[in-house]
């Protein structure tokens, strides 16, 4: 395989590898680093000895991500100049095809939050098996566990995901209707209408560099929205990890990204990223 063919093969896999790394790490910048490192390692490898290039690349990217996850656990680190999970944002403005492909295949922020709470081994086993259909024999080799142990890791992760991050309504128009109703009620100062579009057990998570602050319960979340109602007229619709959301502006400056998880006709979670330095960067990435 000559260099040109090798480059073409890698570029065909880049989108899949980036999606894999993003789900593993929850950070686009770190995902891109992992994919780039895999490319560098491929250039230094004896390609003729690689029987399955796709599998080889998956293994390399997974091991790189696993190392990052373990470092985070031991050092309580998160990426510089980023939030974890880092939302993937798409507005009405045109985005590059690779970014739009990531949006189309993204998992919701609520699921990314749960993934970030898993142990590194649980996260790797769940993402590889449940999202990328990698057999447990291969996962076991990556984790240096038995296939049965790998299966148990994925099973534990699956139970936590089902309990904490139910899948959103697949109808994007229905999602958008709930989000629009939320901001309309906030603009009008209608507390009852706000409560009506929130699940009784809704959780609102505010993500900043300092950490995550949670509010639970429809009335508490609605009252917090009322406190910030002056910004409600200045929100623009956006897709956040492929689901309906919004970007809030203070004048011409974007300062918050709001990702909603909608089930039926109510929001069950709202994730708010309100770091004034990072939000504009995230939007530029889109």
Q: Is residue 177 domain-shared with residue 158, that is, in the same domain?
A: no
Cα gap 226→210, rounded to integer Å:
24
Q: Is residue 156 domain-shared with residue 17, that is, in the same domain?
A: yes
Question: Would you call the peptide bond into 138 cis, given omega within 30 degrees of 0 as the criterion?
Answer: no
159 CB-near residues (< 8 Å, 6+ apart): none
The pLDDT of residue 16 is 92
In the block, tokens 């917090």 appear at 224
| Coil/strand/helix, residue 213 | strand
Q: Is residue 145 domain-shared with residue 241, that is, in the same domain?
A: no
Q: Is residue 268 domain-shared with residue 126, that is, in the same domain?
A: no
The pLDDT of residue 217 is 97
Give the strands of the sheet with 253-263, arranged side by side.
89-90, 235-240, 243-250, 253-263, 266-273, 198-208, 211-216
The pLDDT of residue 282 is 77
In order of 88, 164, 173, 260, 270, the CA distances from 169 in angstroms are 19, 15, 10, 11, 14
In order of 100, 103, 142, 167, the CA distances from 275 in angstroms are 23, 21, 36, 27
Q: Is residue 28 domain-shared with residue 132, that is, in the same domain?
A: yes
The answer to the question of residue 13 being in a domain is yes
Q: Is residue 45 domain-shared with residue 147, that is, in the same domain?
A: yes
Q: Is residue 179 domain-shared with residue 260, that is, in the same domain?
A: yes
Of 94, 129, 163, the position where a domain reaches its end is 163
Give the pairing type, strands 235-240 and 243-250: antiparallel
Q: Is residue 158 domain-shared with residue 188, that is, in the same domain?
A: no
CATH of the domain at 70: 1.20.140.160
Q: Is residue 145 domain-shared with residue 269, that is, in the same domain?
A: no
pTM for this model (two decimals): 0.85
Q: Is residue 16 domain-shared with residue 158, that is, in the same domain?
A: yes
Q: What's the total number of domains in the chain? A: 2
The answer to the question of residue 17 being in a domain is yes
The pLDDT of residue 80 is 45
The answer to the question of residue 106 being in a domain is no
Is the distance from CB of 202 to CB of 268 less than 8 angstroms?
A: yes
**What are residue 89's DSSP bridge partners?**
240
The answer to the question of residue 110 being in a domain is no
The answer to the question of residue 28 being in a domain is yes
Of 113, 132, 163, the position where a domain reaches its end is 163
Of 163, 180, 196, the position where a domain reaches its end is 163
CATH of the domain at 246: 3.10.450.50
Q: Is residue 56 domain-shared with residue 28, that is, in the same domain?
A: yes
The answer to the question of residue 54 being in a domain is yes
The answer to the question of residue 194 being in a domain is yes
The answer to the question of residue 7 being in a domain is yes
Domain range for 8: 3-82+121-163
Q: Is residue 194 domain-shared with residue 258, that is, in the same domain?
A: yes
pLDDT along the chain (286 residues), means of 10: 84 93 92 95 89 94 96 65 77 57 69 92 96 95 96 96 85 94 94 97 90 93 92 89 91 91 95 86 69
């Amino acid at each position: 395989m000559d260099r040109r063919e090798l480059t073409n093969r890698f570029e065909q896999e880049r989108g899949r590898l980036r999606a894999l790394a993003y789900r593993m790490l929850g950070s686009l910048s770190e995902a891109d680093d992992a994919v780039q490192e895999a490319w560098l390692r491929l250039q230094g490898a004896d390609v003729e000895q690689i029987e399955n290039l796709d599998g080889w690349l998956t293994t390399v990217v997974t091991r790189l991500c696993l190392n990052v996850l373990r470092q985070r656990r031991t050092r309580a680190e998160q990426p510089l100049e980023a939030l974890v999970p880092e939302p993937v944002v798409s507005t009405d403005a045109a985005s590059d095809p690779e970014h739009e492909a990531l949006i189309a295949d993204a998992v919701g922020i609520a699921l990314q939050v749960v993934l970030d709470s898993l142990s590194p081994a649980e996260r790797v086993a769940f993402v590889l098996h449940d999202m990328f259909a990698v057999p447990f024999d291969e996962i076991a080799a990556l984790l240096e566990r038995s296939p049965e142990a790998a299966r148990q890791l994925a099973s534990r992760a699956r139970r936590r995901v089902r309990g904490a991050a139910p899948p959103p309504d697949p109808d994007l128009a229905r999602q958008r209707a709930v989000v629009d109703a939320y901001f309309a009620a906030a603009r009008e100062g209608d507390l009852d209408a706000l409560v009506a579009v929130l699940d009784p057990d809704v959780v609102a998570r505010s993500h900043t560099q300092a950490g995550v602050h949670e509010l639970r319960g429809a009335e508490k979340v609605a009252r917090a929205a009322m406190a910030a109602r002056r910004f409600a007229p200045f929100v623009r619709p956006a897709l956040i990890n492929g689901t309906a959301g919004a970007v809030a502006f203070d004048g011409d400056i974007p300062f918050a990204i709001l990702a909603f998880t909608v089930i039926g006709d109510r929001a069950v979670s709202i994730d708010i990223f309100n770091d004034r330095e990072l939000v504009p960067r995230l939007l530029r990435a889109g």
